[in-house]
Amino acid sequence: MDAKTKYKAKKIKIVFFDIDDTLRAKATDYMPDSVKLAFADLKAKGILTGIASGRGLYGVVPEIRDLNPDYFVTINGAYVIDKKGDEIFNEPLDPEVAKSYVAWAKEQGIAYGFAGKDKPVVSERSQLIDDAVVPVYGVCEVDPDFHLSHDVYHMWTFAENNAELVLPESLSDQIRLVPWHEHSSDVVKTGISKASGVEAVLKRENLKPINAMMFGDGPNDMEIFDYVGLKIAMGNAVPEIKAKSDYVTDTVEGDGIFNALEKLGMVEKQLNFPQLNLAETEGPVATIKTNHGDLVIKLFPDHAPLTVKNFVDLAESGYYDGVIFHRIIKDFMIQGGDPTGTGMGGESSFGGSFQDEFSDELYNLRGALSMANAGPNTNGSQFFIVQNANMPYSAKELTRGGWPEEIAKSYAENGGTPHLDRRHTVFGQLVDDASYKVLDAIAAVETGAQDKPVEDVIIETVEVSD
């Protein structure tokens, strides 16, 4: 994401979202939990939110309503309300236009439908119509003459050859076709779009287009992308939308909305710290059996997949069997994994060295299993376990330095080596008191030149279990 896009984000006061394939996956109804987090964070920062959809309000599913947006721009902008249900904009079609459209649809031999303020109706029931509207509105009432007694906000075409339909000149200056399904288009009043609905909201809030942002993916987002100051296309968006966007984010399933907002600095990533919640963290367990006792360690493959694979593969091949802890510094760490016992040897299971895997959720806390290296991206077979229990810094000082509060508290209370964070890959954590006692016992052994134990501290073997 470039600096220009991030600068635009600083002016944003309201964010609008399409629904289908933006907030939730249309085919599966999946909406990630990260969407709820995004709305909550935006609200906490005083940024307004709005739904901008081709759907009528009756087609907005409960989980979207539960996001409690400040505004609903519905029926392609023809009907807009605030979160209290008060009308902001209400612009139905001219009844004569609706009559002319129905006459044309009958001439073409195609089915049609209407979006009223309170319900949708269709001219007939068929599989073709159900395939289009049921996923959005459920089974719709049949009422081909609905337009004669109700306000209509937009209409639909339903046809096998939908992409080939062209409105006659007598209607094309009053309504337009906006495709949204293989067999259906929205029939929208000229001058009305989601952009005009957003404009009504901005006037209500005394905001300018430069203060508005939109997430979208489809053709009915085109006008709004031309209108707002910052536009984000979903990863699954049509090419035309991507071309108009300031940034293309991930798909719904890939947490596209949250990821984009985080990169823009508009929401904060929700961090989980597995070292502080070992009982709830899934992952293999490695037991380093030494001549001083066992060190039992939970590994974190979700955070450091290459590093964990390297360690597990080496362990299961017997690579570490009989290897010593060649460098031990009390109140710092114990280091091993070099079959030469010199600190100068060893290689990864991949051959040679491999890259660092730093995570915002893993730290060199007391008991952390971390990779030794000779500089950036030089990981091989050597590792160390942090033993230091004495921390000269308070939690407040560490937090001021940029460490998360929970991690800063753990450092202050239990110890660790924060100066090694983002310099050495953390990939595991001791799991029990017995292991810490073994760690401290090893750290207390007598050492000689180059911090090498006088009597060998030997890794007898490393066992890994799921």
Enzyme catalytic residues: 18
What are residue 441's phi and psi, to 5 degrees? -65, -40
Secondary structure (DSSP) of 85-117? --EEEE-PPPHHHHHHHHHHHHHHT-EEEEE-S
The token duo for 162 is 């939908």
Instruction: Tell me, rounded to whole angstroms, the distance of Cα 279 from its chain centroid.
Output: 25
CA distance 252 to 255: 5
Helix 256-263 with 33-44: angle, nearest 10 deg: 30
Cβ contact 84:144 at 8 Å: no
In 109-236, alpha helices (H): 127-137, 169-172, 194-205, 222-227
Residue 400's Cβ-count burial label (10 Å; 0-12, 13-18, 19+) is exposed
Query: Which residues have C-beta within 8 Å of that of residue 3, sequence separation ≥ 6?
Result: none
